[in-house]
Chains A and B, each alone.
Chain A
Amino acid sequence: KNQVEQSPQSLIILEGKNCTLQCNYTVSPFSNLRWYKQDTGRGPVSLTIMTFSENTKSNGRYTATLDADTKQSSLHITASQLSDSASYICVVSARSSGTYKYIFGTGTRLKVLA
Chain B
Amino acid sequence: DAGVTQSPTHLIKTRGQQVTLRCSPKSGHDTVSWYQQALGQGPQFIFQYYEEEERQRGNFPDRFSGHQFPNYSSELNVNALLLGDSALYLCASTKTSGGPSLDQYFGPGTRLLVL
A residues lining the B interface (CB < 8 Å): 32, 34, 36, 41-46, 49, 51, 89, 95, 98-102, 104-107, 109
Contact = CB atoms under 8 A, between A and B. Distances in A.
Interface in B25-48: 31, 33, 35, 40-45, 48
Interface in B99-115: 100, 102-109, 111
A89 B50 CA distance: 25
B56 interface: yes
Bin the interface of chain B by size: 20 to 34
A51 B101 CA distance: 12
Interface string B53-77: 0011000000000000000000000
B102 A43 contact: no
Q: Is the interface of B mostly helix, strand, loop or mixed?
A: strand
A43 B56 contact: no
Q: Is the interface of A mostly helix, strand, loop or mixed?
A: strand
B42 A106 contact: yes
B90 interface: yes
A32 B42 contact: no
B21 interface: no
A105 B96 CA distance: 24
Contact of B90 (A44, A100, A101): A44
